[in-house]
Amino acid sequence: MGIRSDPPDAEARLSELPAVHEVAARLDAPHRLAVAAARRAIEEHRASVLNGLPASGPVDDRARELVAELKRPSLRRVINATGVVLHTNLGRAPLAAEARRAVAEAAGYSNLEYELETGERGTRHGHVESLLCELTGAAAAMLVNNGASAVLLAVAALNVPGQPVVVSRGQLVEIGGGFRIPEVIAYSGARLVEVGTTNRTRLADYERAVAAAGEGATLLRVHQSNFRTLGFVEEVEIEALCQLGVPVIDDVGSGVLSDPAPLPELGDEPAISRSVKAGAAIVCSSADKLLGGPQAGLMVGSAEAIAAARQHPLARALRIDKLSLAGLEATLRIYREPERALTAVPALAMLAAGQAELQRRAETLRTAIGPEAEIVRASARAGGGSLPLLELEGPVVTLPESAGADRLAAALRRADPPVIARIRDGRVLLDPRTLTDSEVDEVAQAVRTALGQQ
CB 350 within 8 A of CB 433: yes
Final residue in a domain of this structure, among 295, 317, 344: 344
Mean pLDDT of the chain: 92
CA 109 to chain centroid? 27
Residue 427 lies in a domain: yes
Instruction: Check whether residue 295 and residue 175 sit in a common domain.
Output: yes
Instruction: Check whether residue 371 and residue 257 sit in a common domain.
Output: no
Indicate the pTM of the whole model: 0.90
Query: How large is the average pLDDT for residues 70-78?
Result: 93
- 3 state SS of 256: strand
**Cβ-based burial of 21 (10 A; exposed 0-12, middle 13-18, buried ≥19):** exposed
Q: Tell me the per-residue pLDDT of 375-429, one tens digit each, with 9 for 90 and over.
A: 999 999 999 888 888 889 999 999 988 879 999 999 999 999 999 999 999 999 9
CA distance 80 to 102: 23
**CATH code of 414's domain:** 3.90.1150.180
Final residue in a domain of this structure, among 311, 344, 377: 344
Cβ neighbours of residue 186 closer than 8 Å, sequence gap 6 or more: 192
CA distance 69 to 113: 39
CA distance 94 to 113: 26
CA 108 to chain centroid? 25
Residue 407 lies in a domain: yes
pLDDT at position 3 over 60: no
Final residue in a domain of this structure, among 296, 318, 344: 344
Instruction: Check whether residue 356 and residue 324 sit in a common domain.
Output: no
Instruction: Check whether residue 210 and residue 324 sit in a common domain.
Output: yes
Residue 242 lies in a domain: yes
pLDDT at position 90 over 50: yes
Query: How large is the average pLDDT for residues 351-376?
Result: 95
Helix 437-452 × helix 405-413 angle, to 10°: 120
Instruction: Check whether residue 42 and residue 103 sit in a common domain.
Output: no
CA distance 247 to 221: 11
Query: How large is the average pLDDT for residues 352-362?
Result: 96
Query: How large is the average pLDDT for residues 1-14?
Result: 64
Backbone angles phi, psi at 128, to 5 degrees: -125, -10
Q: Tell me the per-residue pLDDT of 181-208, one tens digit each, with 9 for 90 and over.
A: 898 888 888 899 999 998 999 999 999 9
Residue 6 lies in a domain: no
Backbone angles phi, psi at 48, to 5 degrees: -65, -45
Residue 168 lies in a domain: yes
Measure the N-to-C terminal CA separation of the chain; round to a whole number of Å: 40
What was the pLDDT predicted at 258?
84
The alpha carbon dihedral of 70, 76, 79, 82 has a sign of positive
CB 341 within 8 A of CB 408: no
Instruction: Check whether residue 65 and residue 193 sit in a common domain.
Output: no
pLDDT at position 104 over 70: yes
The conformation of residue 325, written as its DSSP 8-state character, comes to H
Cβ neighbours of residue 117 closer than 8 Å, sequence gap 6 or more: none
CB 166 within 8 A of CB 174: no
6 HSE (CA, 13 A, CB side): 12
Instruction: Check whether residue 192 and residue 242 sit in a common domain.
Output: yes
What was the pLDDT predicted at 158?
94
Number of domains in the chain: 3
CA 408 to chain centroid? 25
Closest CA to 394 of 426, 348, 428, 363: 363
Query: How large is the average pLDDT for residues 113-129?
Result: 95
> CA-based Rg of the chain, rounded to a whole angstrom?
27
Quote the strand ranges of 47-114, DSSP E. 79-80, 84-86
What was the pLDDT predicted at 177?
64
* Beta pairing partners, 218: 165
**Sheet (strand 84-86) strand order:** 84-86, 374-383, 392-398, 427-430, 422-424
Instruction: Check whether residue 141 and residue 176 sit in a common domain.
Output: yes
Residue 41 domain boundaries:
17-70
CA distance 395 to 375: 6
Q: Tell me the per-residue pLDDT of 227-275, one tens digit each, with 9 for 90 and over.
A: 778 888 899 999 999 999 999 999 998 889 987 777 888 877 899 999 9
CA 34 to chain centroid? 35
Query: How large is the average pLDDT for residues 333-337?
Result: 96
Instruction: Check whether residue 40 and residue 116 sit in a common domain.
Output: no
Instruction: Check whether residue 365 and residue 295 sit in a common domain.
Output: no
What was the pLDDT predicted at 175?
73
What was the pLDDT predicted at 2?
47
Confidence grade of residue 454 (pLDDT, cut at 50, 70, 90): low
What was the pLDDT predicted at 87?
95
